[in-house]
Chain A
Amino acid sequence: MMAYKAQAEIISPSAGQARSFDPYDGETVRERLSSHLRREVDASFEIGPLRRYTVGFSWVTYGFRATWRENGRSVERDLILRAGPPRGIFAPYRASPEFTALGALAGSGVPVPRVYWFSDDSAAIGAPFFVCDLVPGEAPIPWTRDGGPAFDDARREGLGGQFVAALAALHRFKWEGTPAAAIGGSMDATRAAIDEVTRWEGLLAMWSPRRIPMLEIAARWLRRNAPSARRISIVHGDYRIGNFLEAEGRITAILDWELVHLGDPAEDVGWICLQAWRGRSPYMCHFFTREELRDRYALLSGIEMSLADMAYWEAFGAYKLAVMHFGAVHCFEERGFDDLRMAGMGLQIPRVLLQVESAMERAA
């Protein structure tokens, strides 16, 4: 059998020192984070025990209680640590795009957790990380046991309205002149789609030495049919059911900004429409028909979008999701990442490739 190390050894070029990161060793992560924050923030910084959350296929998420002094006053807060595992699906990770976007969006109409500290370097805790507020709520997930609806009609209406309003606020956000201008992506409306296809083609080439006919057919089609963007916005990149928190009927936070970039806002709208986020429900992300989504979004964002545009970006989303599955296989097979959910994604590849084909046919 192939031999894999129990822990990844990470060399941080800027720090010039090796550090390992074991997501299951919460105590070591806690000690390192404490030392880092005592050094960087406040010498009296105290962190309680870390508890790991089961959600998320990419970043590792822990909750903890922290106390420190700020401007001479004692502060006590429940916080979240998000760490990018060195062998995870999108490794090597950077925390700065997500941290910067969340910081820029604070106080906008997009509900986001307050962010505190981050590092793109692995020297501090063994992995890039950022710390933000713990926001109360639960994350409804797209997968239901029987494949049926995730919400009754009242919750569908209430949460759905907030879900699209937050997206519209994100896409209306004036990022120019804010730190979010540096998060990366495409600022050329004529190239936003092509740039994204190129980006994901590059990731596929990195993750799969094997050439996949269905994905090559799809990439060629996406290039030929790429639309121009009506505007350039901050694009969440993974905006869907499963990536927001809800408490008492209110969306309290939009989460998981790791794929955030500048680009065509239609990309987020197409992503909402993926088969993967609705099971057998007729509603996109268990919320809307395509037409309802288009109309509500246009009303709130002022951005008119045709069903054809949405279908193009849905096809792109299906392609991107399929490429992510190859990333899951790569981190499991080649990088020794033992998370069995990655292997599980690998076994679903025929299903997602057929979804790419059907999304492309609908858009053609």
Chain B
Amino acid sequence: MNMSLDRLLEAMMATLRTDVIPHVGDPYARGQAIGVVDLLNNIGARIEWARAPIAEAVEEKRRLLREAGVALPAARDEPVAGTTADLLAQRDQLDMLICEKLESLSARDDAHARQALACLCQHAHDELTLQMQFVRKPLFAEIASGGGADRSSGR
């Protein structure tokens, strides 16, 4: 996850307040939209991104790097712990180490390097495949047409 939950909630509220509610003609519908703003405003302090998938990703990256012979700094080799924000920071640091390893292996042309490189590439693929279980089909057709037909009117 690349975006902060706080920022997402804030932008959703701002969009409703600025771009949606002023253009809703029906008072009941307007009240319901303000109700959504109220809910978004109240749930922010109660929720965070699901921690388990990020912790698993950190664990997997550590295992991968250990197998690739990368010495992890002590803090990154301890049991996975911390807040979601800590885990995201750890994930990013481990991705940096993976990228550095990719770089060094790519400069070599021996069987061992090719095999290690294949493992790192496979990890990148597997991680994205896992993340896809959280990704829903985008509603670009409706967004681009303003909720209307599958085409946009003239410019």
A residues neighboring B (CB under 8 Å):
1-2, 4, 24, 53-55, 61, 63, 80, 134-141, 143-145, 147, 150, 208-214, 216-217, 220, 242, 245, 247, 253, 255, 326, 329, 332-333, 338, 340-341, 343-344, 346-351, 353-354, 357
Contacts and interface: CB of A to CB of B under 8 A. Distances in A.
B152 A55 contact: yes
Contacts of B111: none
A343 B9 CA distance: 11
Nearest to B5: A1
Contacts of A134: 154-155
Contacts of A145: 141-142, 150
Consensus secondary structure, chain B interface: helix
Contacts of A208: 2
Given A220-B106, A348-B135, A214 B2 contact: no
B50 interface: no
Contacts of A24: 18-19
Contacts of B7: 1-2, 332-333
Contact of A347 (B135, B145, B155): B135
Nearest to B19: A24
A140 B151 contact: yes
Contacts of B4: 2, 333
A150 B141 CA distance: 11
Nearest to B147: A54
Contact of A53 (B98, B143, B152): B152
A344 B138 contact: yes
Contact of A213 (B14, B18, B124, B155): B124
Contacts of B145: 54, 141
A346 B7 CA distance: 13
B77 interface: no
A338 B15 contact: yes
Given A139-B155, A351-B135, A211 B6 contact: no
Interface stretch (B24-32, B66-74, B78-86, B126-134): B126-134
Contacts of A211: 92, 95-96, 98-99
B10 A2 contact: yes
Interface residues of B, number: 50
Contacts, number: 148
Most buried by B among A135, A210, A253, A346: A210
B121 interface: yes
Contacts of A61: 155
B8 to A, nearest CB: 6
Contacts of B98: 211, 213
A55 B144 contact: yes
Contact of B155 (A217, A245, A329, A332): A245
Contacts of A354: 125, 128-129, 132
Contacts of B92: 209-211
A139 B6 CA distance: 35
A340 B12 contact: yes
A136 B154 CA distance: 6
23 contacts: A1-B7, A24-B19, A53-B153, A80-B155, A136-B154, A137-B154, A138-B153, A139-B154, A140-B150, A141-B152, A145-B142, A145-B150, A208-B2, A210-B92, A212-B99, A213-B99, A216-B103, A217-B121, A220-B102, A245-B154, A247-B154, A255-B155, A354-B125
A143 B120 contact: no
A143 B128 contact: no
B153 A143 contact: no
B36 interface: no
A288 to B, nearest CB: 19
Contacts of A53: 152-153, 155
A63 B154 CA distance: 9
B35 interface: no
A45 to B, nearest CB: 21
B114 to A, nearest CB: 13
